[in-house]
Amino acid sequence: MLKVSRQPDGRPEIFHSVQGEGVNTGKPAVFLRLSLCNLACTWCDTRYTWDWEQYDPKEQILELPVEDIAREILRYDCRYLVVTGGEPMIQHKELVPLLKHLKSYYIEIETNGTIVPRSELVGLIDQWSVSPKLENSGNPPSARESPRAYKFFSELPSSCFKYVIQQENDLMEVKRMIQEYDIAREKVALMPEGKDTEAILGRSRWLVGLCKNEGYMLSTRLQVLLWDNKRGM
């Protein structure tokens, strides 16, 4: 059984769209959004997956057997799956049987990089999109930075790192992290924080300069630019 995010119409949050962030931006993909998170970012736009002061978990979580989830994913004529959250690694054990059902898929997992996944799962994943949180997230350092997990993901050939940037000062923290964990700059993307087009485009314009200077990728947030971050799009 897996805890899957439940859409307002009662269906599980499994939908066909295009990847909006990171190295696979623009590729058609099926998304599976899992519930639960171990962090509490102030700017989180999926609070319904974990903020039980604001949301009722009985309304937001569907506990589904692996077979039902696989059937829903297989409905779409698309063999690229993005597992997102919340924080999917909270359910890394339960994910293994599901992803074994989907061996023909190219599978990407989006994670905050604080939990080391079991080795059985690692072999099933093509792309790890790791988004470690910075001070701007409002999480304490002890929660947002797990040296063991950081090191694990930095050594994984299939990982890339995506940092959410609010202001230029954040760059100092990114540099410190990638130096400390020996992350190649070609694996690093900067992504503007923002829940509307104006914020995304405004920050993207000055991020271009930083990316040019440092050799990082620029990631956008297509789901915000195209659909104002509407669920299930």
Applying CB under 6 A, does 113 fall inside the site for ligand SF4?
Answer: no
Which of 30, 32, 37, 69 is the binder for ligand SF4 (CB under 6 A)? Answer: 37
What are the backbone dihedrals phi and psi of residue 146, each rounded to the nearest 5 degrees, phi first? -105, 105
Tell me the closest approach of the beta carbon of residue 36 to ligand SF4, in angstroms. 9
Give Rg (Cα) of the chain: 17
Which of 5, 46, 159, 223 is the binder for ligand SF4 (CB under 6 A)? Answer: 46
State the helix-helix crossing angle for 66-74 and 92-100, rounded to 10 degrees. Answer: 50
- Euclidean distance between CA atoms 199 and 90, whole angstroms: 30
Applying CB under 6 A, does 22 fall inside the site for ligand SF4?
Answer: no
Q: Which is nearer to ligand SF4, 121 or 193 (CB)?
A: 193
* Alpha-carbon torsion, ordered 154, 108, 41, 94, to 10 deg: -100
Tell me the closest approach of the beta carbon of residue 179 to ligand SF4, in angstroms. 23
Which x/- pattern, by CB under 6 A, does the window 135-174 give for ligand SF4? ----------------------------------------
Q: Which is nearer to ligand SF4, 140 or 209 (CB)?
A: 140
What long-range pairs does 45-51 form, CB within 8 A, spacing at least 24? 45/195, 45/229, 46/5, 46/85, 46/86, 48/5, 49/5, 49/85, 49/86, 50/86, 50/87
Binders of ligand SF4 in range 55-94 (CB under 6 A) = 85-87
> Contact positions toward ligand SF4, by CB under 6 A?
37, 39-41, 44, 46, 49, 85-87, 112
